[in-house]
Amino acid sequence: MKTIRESWNREGYLDIPNFWAWDLTSNTFSISDNVNAILSLPSQTINNLDTLKSHLFSFDAKWLDFDTVKELTKNENYFEQKIRLYNAEGNFQFFQINGYVELRDKYEYALLLKGTFTHISYLIENPSKLPQPPVHKAEFELIINGIEAGIWDWDLQFDTIWWSSKFYELLGYQDDEIRTSFNTFFNTLLHKDDKAKVEQLIWEHLYEHKPYKTEIRLLCRSGEYKWFQTSGQAMWDKDGKPIKMAGSIIDITETVNYRSSLLKNEFLLNESAKLARIGAWEVDLKTQKVYWSESTKVIHEFPDNLETPSLTETLSYYPKTSRDKFIKAFDESVSLGRAFDISCEFLTYLQNKIWVRVIGSPLFDIQGNIIGVRGVIKNIDEEKQKELFLQDSLKIIHEQNRKLLNFAHIVSHNIRSHTSNLEMVSNFIEECDTEYERKLLLDNVQQISKQLSETISQLNEVLVTQSQVQQPKVRICFDDVLTKVKSIIQSELVLSGALIKSNFSSCESVYYIPAYLESILINLLSNAIQFRKPEVCPMITLSSWIENNKTVLQIEDNGIGIDLEKYKYKLFGMHHTFHKQTSGKGFGLFLIKNQLDLMGSKIEVESQENIGTTFKIIF
Amino acid sequence: MKPVETICVIDDDNIYGFWVKKLLVSKNFCKSLTIFENGLAGFNYFNELVVGDGVIPDLILLDINMPVMDGWEFLEEFSKIKNKFEKDIPIYVVSSSINPADIERAKGFGEVSGFITKPLTFDNLKQIKLFQD
């Protein structure tokens, strides 16, 4: 304005309520404190160029830019600009800046600028004093009101804005409920986290002609923010100065919610897949390409940096034992359109053997042709191992139960056979007629009690044997144990004149419980001697070897043999004897069978009467 | 109760053998008693009866656990020749076993009339039909 043409006293100018001065030499800027009062800011908040700039709307920043101002005043002594400053509530306040050049250097560049500022928000906010909002043709009006989009039309020269009825409606306002201005849009409706983005994008559109299209949150009457997609197009004058910008807003709250729930679901799916060790896979039959999800790679222990393998390569993850099963299921899925669900052994990239469950179903195109197979893979190793362990445990428990029951019967039967005798004999105590009978009775009682105690000690031996299963296994040389056993049964050997030959060269030792191995050898050797043929020198041959990864010990004799057809099932029972003429107690084989069972070993027997018997222990 | 003519006991336990004889004879269950110490000895006796002369026992008391030929095997062999005798010979299994499996198995033989758990006493001899009137 031309009213401030006089020269101001440098010391006194700040007392004037709307004065400013800018010394471009030292780049010092002074402004009347009144500016703070107008913006409802504490005194001295804005007192230099930096504090002023921090309250300036970025679009207007160039008017306080050193170089711009220097260029602007090169040929003009006077200038006039509208700027927007933020007040304490964060709303724009419009100011008109008028300035003039007080001092120039020899190159005619301004050195000192002085001027006034005038608060003109009142003028801006009362559009009646300014040009009317745009008038649209009736056809446009129909379109504008008909579409599900709010239209905005922003006059950049006067900073006035026009919003279509739909614009208000989308936000839930009546037409006159909010002040229609860029300030309202930017400082009230727009979410604070979207401000910087919008500011930058509009600037880039206006001054760099980049497209303006973005997603923003706007405050609705309900107090909630809704998501909108907004886009717009500016109009420039012949000098390239933007004069107008118009555009639309579309409610995309649902889309955004849908998108975020999709993201959330994807996150949950990924996380649960990781947790549950489930991976997704898909095979495109046309391209033979294989897709693996993150978790699928993890299950395969497949390196991150490698390309997903081809369909044939994926088969290598199924070891021989399960490959056919997988191929059959997959082929049926492709040829018959059948879904499959198989559990099988699986070999990871790092060659770890695990159990997986693979579920797949065919993919159809619109014509109903099978174009692929899609499914999931789950690492079920832990479950499977537990299941197998449980099966094993169950088997062991059944076996233990069977053994216990068997033992209970053995105990009851063997003890009962003596006690029933005792009972019977004692019934006759009163009825013995003769001295002979009385003596016989007492002898019998003595005999029975001896047998009873023998039986009890045998049963006890079985129990001791069973508790020995806890003893540690050690490597035992067959030669050593044979030497020891020979010395234990030395008297039997000497009396019978038995010859023992051994050849343990194929397999010299076994990993076993020493007490068991000794007991097994003692019993088998004693049996061989006891059931020797009369008149024939007993020959016992021991040998060992490896068969099917297992140690085998064989004890062969030239004794009287056993009729296996008759006694096969009784051979290892308690108190079964098969030969009338000898003093067999029917206990040795029962005991060693018990020991072998406890160790999971097997015993096989071959025999021919009058030729000999061969026992084979498979450890 | 009238004593029967002959009872046949098949049992390898000689203590039992001695006292069962005393029980059966002194309590007047039978007039005479024959004891075989295993199934085979018993079977051989019956097998000879088929062709030769001899006393056909009125009752057999059979043990299960015996060497050489046990009670079960005896029952199997006996079933093959029993029809050659002019009268039915009731067989009672007398065993110290209380194993239900043994009792069931004994019942499975048509030749077996009953299962008596040892000890054999005056009272449980009364289970035998012949001695019930």
Partnered with residue A291 across adjacent β-strands are: A282
pLDDT tens-digit profile of B51-102? 888 888 999 999 998 877 889 999 999 999 988 888 889 999 999 888 888 8
Task: Measure the CA–CA gap between B41 and B27, rounded to whole angstroms.
Answer: 26
pLDDT tens-digit profile of A587-612? 788 888 888 888 889 999 999 988 99
Q: Is the peptide bond before B119 cis (omega within 30 degrees of 0)?
A: yes
pLDDT of residue A1: 31
Q: Is the pLDDT of residue A2 over 60?
A: no
Higher pLDDT, B23 or A578: B23
- The shortest C-alpha distance from B89 to chain A (Å) reads 25
> Are A612 and A557 a contacting pair, CB within 8 Å?
yes
> Of the candidates B118, B35, B98, B22, which has an alpha carbon nearest to the alpha carbon of residue A421?
B118
Matching residue, tokens 């899925």: A333
| Number of Cβ pairs < 8 A linking chain A and chain B | 70
A417: nearest CB among B67, B68, B96: B96
Q: Is the pLDDT of residue A578 over 60?
A: no
> Which chain A residues are Cβ-neighbours of B38 within 8 angstroms?
580
Task: Measure the CA–CA gap between A356 and A374, rounded to whole angstroms.
Answer: 16
> Which chain A residues are Cβ-neighbours of B22 within 8 angstroms?
428, 437
A413: nearest CB among B22, B70, B97: B97
pLDDT of residue A4: 35
Chain B residue with CA closest to A419: the answer is: B119
Q: Quick one: pLDDT band at residue A391, thresholds 50, 70, 90?
A: very high
Q: Is the pLDDT of residue A10 over 70?
A: no
> Which chain A residues are Cβ-neighbours of B14 within 8 angstroms?
none
> Of the candidates B32, B99, B22, which has an alpha carbon nearest to the alpha carbon of residue B59?
B32
> Are A218 and A249 a contacting pair, CB within 8 Å?
yes
Element (DSSP H or E) covering residue A476: strand A474-477
pLDDT of residue A9: 46
Q: What are the residues whose beta carbons fall under 8 Å from the beta carbon of A55, sequence distance 6 or more? A: A39, A41, A45, A46, A85, A86
Q: Span B102-118, mean pLDDT? A: 91
Q: Is the pLDDT of residue A340 over 90?
A: yes
A302 in helix, strand or coil? coil
Torsion of CA B119, B122, B123, B129, to 10 degrees: 100
pLDDT tens-digit profile of A234-286? 999 998 889 999 999 999 988 888 888 888 888 888 888 888 888 999 999 99
Task: Measure the CA–CA gap between B73 and B40, rounded to whole angstroms.
Answer: 9
As for the ipTM of the complex, it is 0.86
Q: Quick one: pLDDT band at residue A8, thresholds 50, 70, 90?
A: very low
- The shortest C-alpha distance from B4 to chain A (Å) reads 22
Task: Measure the CA–CA gap between B75 and A591, rounded to whole angstroms.
Answer: 29
Matching residue, tokens 């304005």: A1
Q: What share of chain A is helix, strand, coil (3-state, %, to 5)?
A: 45, 25, 30
φ, ψ of residue A348 to 5 degrees: the values are -75, 170
Domains within chain B, CATH numbers bracketed: 14-131 (3.40.50.2300)
How would you class B15 by CB atoms within 10 Å of its CB: exposed for 0-12, middle for 13-18, buried for 19 or more? buried
Task: Measure the CA–CA gap between A591 and A573, rounded to whole angstroms.
Answer: 9
> Are A319 and A346 a contacting pair, CB within 8 Å?
yes
pLDDT of residue A7: 43
DSSP assignment of B15-83:
HHHHHHHHHHHHTTSEEEEEEESSHHHHHHHHHHHHHS--PPPSEEEE-S--SSS-HHHHHHHHHHHGG
> Are A102 and A7 a contacting pair, CB within 8 Å?
yes
Q: Span A476-499, mean pLDDT? A: 91
Average per-residue pLDDT for chain A:
86
Q: Quick one: pLDDT band at residue A430, thresholds 50, 70, 90?
A: confident
Q: Is the pLDDT of residue A452 over 70?
A: yes
* Residue A418: Cβ within 10 Å count: 22
A285 in helix, strand or coil? coil
- The shortest C-alpha distance from B86 to chain A (Å) reads 30
> Of the candidates A55, A66, A131, A133, which has an alpha carbon nearest to the alpha carbon of residue A95?
A55
> Which chain A residues are Cβ-neighbours of B122 within 8 angstroms?
427
Topology of domain A2-125, CATH: Beta-Lactamase (3.30.450)
Lowest mean pLDDT across A142-146, A164-168, B14-18: A142-146
Task: Measure the CA–CA gap between A102 and A5, rounded to whole angstroms.
Answer: 9
Q: Is the pLDDT of residue A582 over 60?
A: no
Task: Measure the CA–CA gap between A439 and A452, rounded to whole angstroms.
Answer: 20
pLDDT of residue A136: 67
Higher pLDDT, A135 or A398: A398
What does CATH list as the number for A271-379? 3.30.450.20
Question: Would you say how long chain A is, in residues?
Answer: 619
Element (DSSP H or E) covering residue A456: helix A435-467
Element (DSSP H or E) covering residue A490: helix A490-496
pLDDT of residue A6: 40
Strand A289-292 relative to strand A340-347, pairing: unpaired
Residue contact A427–B119, C-beta within 8 A: yes
- The shortest C-alpha distance from A409 to chain B (Å) reads 6
Element (DSSP H or E) covering residue A110: strand A110-119
- Percent of residues, chain B, with pLDDT higher than 70: 99
Higher pLDDT, A568 or A21: A21
Matching residue, tokens 């060693």: A592
DSSP assignment of A505-566:
SS--EEEE-HHHHHHHHHHHHHHHHHTPPTTS--EEEEEEEEETTEEEEEEEE-S----HHH
Terminal-residue alpha carbon distance, chain A: 115
> Which chain B residues are Cβ-neighbours of A420 within 8 angstroms?
96, 117-119
pLDDT of residue A431: 80
Q: Quick one: pLDDT band at residue A63, thresholds 50, 70, 90?
A: confident
Topology of domain A132-251, CATH: Beta-Lactamase (3.30.450)
Q: Quick one: pLDDT band at residue A135, thresholds 50, 70, 90?
A: low
pLDDT of residue A14: 57
* Boundaries of every domain in chain A: 2-125, 132-251, 271-379, 386-467, 471-618
> Are A27 and A49 a contacting pair, CB within 8 Å?
yes
Question: Would you say how long chain B is, in residues?
Answer: 133
> Are B69 and B15 a contacting pair, CB within 8 Å?
no
Topology of domain A386-467, CATH: Helix Hairpins (1.10.287)
φ, ψ of residue A255 to 5 degrees: the values are -60, -45
Is there a common fold for A132-251 and A271-379?
A: yes
* Sheet arrangement for strand A242-251: A160-163, A149-155, A242-251, A225-236, A212-219
Q: Span A67-89, mean pLDDT? A: 86
pLDDT tens-digit profile of A358-382? 999 999 988 889 999 999 999 999 8
> Of the candidates A165, A120, A106, which has an alpha carbon nearest to the alpha carbon of residue A141?
A165
Structural tokens at position B19: 């006292």
Topology of domain A471-618, CATH: Heat Shock Protein 90 (3.30.565)
> Which chain A residues are Cβ-neighbours of B73 within 8 angstroms?
566
Q: Span A287-310, mean pLDDT? A: 88
Interface of B with A (CB under 8 A): 13, 15-16, 18-20, 22-23, 26, 38, 65, 67-68, 70, 73, 96-99, 101, 117-122
Cα A541 to chain centroid distance, Å, stands at 61
- The shortest C-alpha distance from A562 to chain B (Å) reads 11
pLDDT of residue A5: 33
pLDDT of residue A134: 63
DSSP assignment of A321-348:
HHHHHHHHHHHHHHHH---EEEEEEEE-
pLDDT of residue A195: 92
Structural tokens at position A476: 């035992």
Q: Span A555-564, mean pLDDT? A: 90
pLDDT tens-digit profile of A535-550? 889 999 999 999 999 9
pLDDT of residue A368: 87
